[in-house]
A and B are shown apart, each in its own frame.
Chain A
């Protein structure tokens, strides 16, 4: 039983990381209608930057905060310089462009930092705590706490501030928002900046659990896609719930189903994406898609 609860909590912790990436995907999808395939590689790149700052002597906390700020700026710049040109174009074009960004960032990271892997320091201590007779790692609990904190902040931003209201308006109806004075372009840049920072956060959280290399986020991205598909691509709550479900089911399947083991864990999110899209394409919390004839 103790083992089961440990697996469960560990699943929720991993799931929180997937949820952070999924939230970033949802942020961009809601504002620009683009599924950003480069989200994971942007996060990987940010994580390398954090590693570089840490190696240069910054304390890890400060290195991460600096990285989040830099990632935000990078996200804003990417939207303005690259994505703006293609917005409103065909799905195929957008997929190819964000995928191009994916491959480009992966190559650049390999060029700058090489293809070897390296350890990444954790933000949390490696101690464990006893909760109700079950031994849990501080790291797992810390990751969950960070995610909940981020979700709380995002909620406040979107529901309680004027900027958040403007962002929602710009996403819902760009033309009408522009007419009432919302600067739609700035809102889109803000959305990409927030998403990039969120991804960076997921990167620095996941890196201590894996090794930091250029393929750090490859699998994470697929899990995050599964989370977003499960929750509904336009639902923030869905992204969080989806992330947790994916994280827990991945860990349970990997631990208790012999056939799956560590090798085939990647099939779990794939199967989930497939089933969800066939049974309920809008996801658990998403808005049903309506085609206009």
Chain B
């Protein structure tokens, strides 16, 4: 895509996004608000998993931490809700940093284990500290209301508010991944040893990405409180972490736009799946994780490229994880290098 076409596409999409609350009823608008909420958290997870190649199965925990931070600040400390968003993001950034300092020493599998444990333990912790969190009963939070001079409904305002925050977070991620941090992150993923000889501080880069990623989940959590107006431990089970993971795989690892596809997927699939059977969502999530890894490792955002590949009759690549569509385009010249690295990575773990 030439830059001009790309700009046009983005403008059309942005106009469409702004128009949504004026085209649909309140119920649909609420659903689209949640899509935006999930998109922020999913984008955060994708920065970590897709771009830096580290695995977190526990981003639901940071999402919950952000949600509870915002809820407590708004309800118990009467903080204005717009301040609660950066506060939740900052706290989760700090928590991610603290968690990341020891966790970054654990590569691959072990990080997955520890974060999985975190996701399982957090709802228990929320229940245990029920003096602060109201335990299983949950906390009701007043939702933001549209100021009178705007002349729009509350649900429309809520949507636009989330849209604004989401847009900022997407722009931030895009510029970060284009810049020095993004290059360092990808270098760490694709060739850690080479990167360290070039002066990239592996530990520092990994911790920073983990912290940024947790911060995104925290902002998503705060927006979730706006959208739902209620938090309870049952809302933050392991299912949330799994949904985020399914979202980045469906949307496309290491893509910015993929987060939106993924968020649409995890918002609307459960709604329609529940009509058939409550268990169907799990079956679909599990099925797509396997199926996408098998046939479409680039996710939805990588589909055009994959189709071109198939049309050109090229040999099917082995699924190698975090190499989504956008990346192929940027780093086509590096593909030979990554193939060699895959073998080294597997060998190192097996030794």
The reply on A270 being an interface residue by CB < 8 A is yes
Per the bound structure, the CA–CA distance linking A89 and B280 in Å amounts to: 29
**Interface size, chain A (Cβ < 8 Å):** 51
Per the bound structure, the CA–CA distance linking A137 and B29 in Å amounts to: 58
Residue of B nearest to A87 (CB): B346
Instruction: Identify which of B102-110, B141-149, B164-172 touches chain A.
Output: B102-110
The reply on A161 being an interface residue by CB < 8 A is no
The reply on B114 being an interface residue by CB < 8 A is yes
CB pair A100–B293 under 8 Å, yes or no, is: yes
CB pair B127–A35 under 8 Å, yes or no, is: no
The reply on A103 being an interface residue by CB < 8 A is yes
With A107-B280, A277-B114 as contacts: A82 and B290 at CB distance below 8 Å: yes
Within 8 A of A (CB), among B316-351: 318-322, 342-351
The reply on A92 being an interface residue by CB < 8 A is yes
Instruction: Identify which of B89-97, B153-161, B198-206, B281-289 touches chain A.
Output: B281-289
With A95-B55, A274-B114 as contacts: A100 and B289 at CB distance below 8 Å: yes
Q: Is the interface of A mostly helix, strand, loop or mixed?
A: helix
With A93-B297, A264-B124, A266-B124 as contacts: A107 and B106 at CB distance below 8 Å: no
The reply on A85 being an interface residue by CB < 8 A is yes
The reply on B73 being an interface residue by CB < 8 A is no
Size band of the B side of the interface? 35 or more
Task: Annotate B98-126 by CB proximity to A: 1 below 8 A, 0 otherwise.
Answer: 00001001101110111011101100110
CB pair A270–B346 under 8 Å, yes or no, is: no
The reply on A157 being an interface residue by CB < 8 A is no
Q: How far is the CB of A193 from chain B (nearest CB, A)?
A: 20
The reply on B128 being an interface residue by CB < 8 A is yes
CB pair A289–B116 under 8 Å, yes or no, is: no
Q: How far is the CB of B241 from chain A (nearest CB, A)?
A: 10
Indicate which residue in B121, B285, B347 contacts A103 across the interface (CB closer than 8 Å).
Answer: B285
Task: Annotate A274-293 by CB proximity to B: 1 below 8 A, 0 otherwise.
Answer: 10011001000001011111
CB pair B279–A111 under 8 Å, yes or no, is: yes
Q: Please name all residues of chain B whose beta carbon is closer than 8 Å to the beta carbon of A82 when the two chains form the complex.
A: 290
The reply on A90 being an interface residue by CB < 8 A is yes
CB pair B289–A97 under 8 Å, yes or no, is: yes
* Additional 17 contacts, C-beta under 8 A, given A92-B321, A105-B286: A90-B322, A90-B345, A90-B346, A95-B55, A100-B286, A104-B282, A104-B286, A104-B290, A106-B282, A108-B282, A111-B279, A222-B120, A225-B117, A264-B128, A266-B124, A273-B114, A289-B348
Query: Can you list 7 contacts pairing A with B, beta carbon distance less than 8 Å?
Result: A92-B108, A95-B57, A96-B293, A104-B286, A111-B280, A264-B121, A289-B349
Which chain A residues have a beta carbon within 8 Å of chain B's beta carbons? 33, 35, 37, 82, 85-86, 88-93, 95-97, 99-111, 115, 218-219, 222, 225, 229, 263-264, 266-267, 269-270, 273-274, 277-278, 281, 287, 289-293
Which chain B residues have a beta carbon within 8 Å of chain A's beta carbons? 49, 53, 55, 57, 102, 105-106, 108-110, 112-114, 116-118, 120-121, 124-125, 127-128, 193, 238, 242, 245-246, 249, 277-290, 293-294, 297, 318-322, 342-351
